């Protein structure tokens, strides 16, 4: 699929602020199933921008506005082409212990939440039946949304898995954090993916949609018996399915705070009002709607 994405963030401050430093992780990645053809950012007030790749390979765009200002606009435009990934491999549970798997998994297999025990986790864990890691991943994509209500406002940007379980509701960020904990408990390496998602209804053609940044997981699944490398497979527990060409990846990390789309700090006690919008438009003919 071929998309144009515009991600517009506007901050209005109720008093002048200075030294507004921000880091953006918003550029669609180029991967084996995705290519970012065009990418522009515009900052207002004007600011010098620098870029680098972070530890996880995500492009980071940094800027600072030193002088006094009362509003900040971050305007990002991108064009990206995506394709469906190949069928995920059906490797066995035993393959998770192989040296090749552990090498590929690296730190994404390490236990993450180090609190002693999260109440309610055992119960969720017991529902994750599956003859193979792939089956379990698919079950996970049902269990999490079955169990938790999707409700913006139930949690906030710093919420933990414990908060999600206590609230019984959350947003995609929380669903992903919980999924990562559950997968890693099973020995399946898993990482947090930040990106954009084309969320059009299947049956009627739409050219353009207001969306938001989205999050899903990548789980490392072992190759089928004895052959093939382990493969990172994308799955979207918020939307009950494996992710495919509708998902535009920005980058990944161990958890949200490794890949926040916009992170910033400014000097001054003013409070800010945020208006953020992501608009996705399809540029290719609707006839090729996804399977």
| Binds other proteins by CB under 8 A, chosen from 173, 182, 221, 249 | 173
Determine contact, residues 171/155, Cβ cutoff 8 Å. yes
Per rule CB under 8 A, is residue 25 in the interface with other proteins? no
Per rule CB under 8 A, is residue 133 in the interface with other proteins? no
- Pattern of binders to other proteins over 56-95, x per CB under 8 A? x-----x-x-x-----------------------------
Q: By C-beta, is 132 or 261 nearer to other proteins?
A: 261
Site for other proteins in 94-123 (CB under 8 A): 102, 106-107, 109-110, 114
Per rule CB under 8 A, is residue 260 in the interface with other proteins? yes
| Tokens encoding 157 | 């940007």
Q: Is 14 exposed, middle or buried (0-12, 13-18, 19+ CB in 10 A)?
A: exposed
What is d(CA 243, CA 220) in angstroms, rounded to the nearest whole number? Answer: 14
What is d(CA 280, CA 283) in angstroms, rounded to the nearest whole number? Answer: 10
| Binds other proteins by CB under 8 A, chosen from 136, 179, 213, 234 | 213
Determine contact, residues 199/211, Cβ cutoff 8 Å. yes
Three-state helix/strand/coil letters over 169-237: EECHHHHHHHHHHHHHHCCCCEEEEEEEECCCCCCCCCCEEEECEEEEEEEEECCCCCCCCCEEEEEEC
Q: Report, in Å, the least distance between residue 204 CB and other proteins.
A: 10
Q: Report, in Å, the least distance between residue 31 CB and other proteins.
A: 19
Residues 6+ apart with CB under 8 A from 136: 128, 129, 130, 183, 186, 188
Q: By C-beta, is 167 or 270 nearer to other proteins?
A: 270
Q: Report, in Å, the least distance between residue 17 CB and other proteins.
A: 8
Q: Report, in Å, the least distance between residue 157 CB and other proteins.
A: 4
Parallel, antiparallel or unpaired: strands 149-150 and 190-197: unpaired
Per rule CB under 8 A, is residue 288 in the interface with other proteins? no
Per rule CB under 8 A, is residue 46 in the interface with other proteins? no
> What is the phi-psi region of residue 245: left when phi exceeds 0, alpha when psi lies from -120 to 50, beta otherwise?
alpha
Site for other proteins in 5-24 (CB under 8 A): 9, 11, 17, 19, 21-23
- Residues forming contacts to other proteins in the complex (CB under 8 A) are 9, 11, 17, 19, 21-23, 48, 50, 52-56, 62, 64, 66, 102, 106-107, 109-110, 114, 150, 152, 155-157, 171-173, 194, 196-197, 199-202, 211-215, 236, 238-241, 246, 256-258, 260-272, 274, 276, 278
């Amino acid at each position: 699929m071929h998309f144009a994405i515009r991600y517009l963030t506007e901050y209005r401050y109720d008093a002048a602020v200075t030294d507004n430093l921000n880091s953006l992780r918003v550029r669609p990645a180029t991967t084996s199933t995705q290519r970012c053809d065009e990418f522009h950012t515009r900052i207002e007030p004007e600011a010098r921008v620098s870029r680098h790749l972070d530890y996880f390979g995500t492009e980071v765009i940094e800027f600072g506005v030193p002088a006094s200002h009362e509003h900040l606009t971050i305007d990002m435009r991108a064009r990206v082409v995506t394709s469906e990934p190949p069928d995920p491999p059906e490797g066995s549970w035993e393959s998770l212990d192989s040296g090749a798997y552990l090498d590929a998994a690296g730190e994404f297999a390490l236990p993450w939440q180090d609190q002693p025990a999260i109440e309610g986790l055992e119960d969720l864990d017991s529902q994750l039946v599956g003859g193979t890691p792939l089956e379990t991943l698919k079950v996970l994509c049902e269990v999490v949304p079955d169990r938790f209500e999707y409700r913006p406002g139930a949690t906030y940007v710093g919420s933990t898995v414990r908060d999600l379980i206590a609230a019984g509701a959350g947003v995609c960020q929380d669903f992903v954090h919980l999924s990562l904990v559950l997968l890693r408990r099973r020995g399946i390496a898993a990482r947090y993916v930040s990106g954009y998602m084309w969320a059009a209804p299947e049956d009627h053609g739409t050219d353009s949609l207001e969306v938001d940044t989205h999050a899903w997981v990548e789980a490392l699944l072992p190759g089928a018996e004895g052959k093939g490398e382990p493969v990172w497979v994308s799955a979207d527990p918020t939307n009950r399915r494996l992710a495919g060409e509708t998902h535009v990846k920005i980058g990944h990390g161990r958890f949200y705070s490794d890949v926040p789309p916009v992170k910033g700090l400014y000097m001054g006690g003013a409070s800010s009002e945020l208006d953020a919008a992501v608009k996705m438009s399809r540029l290719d003919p609707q006839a090729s709607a996804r399977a």
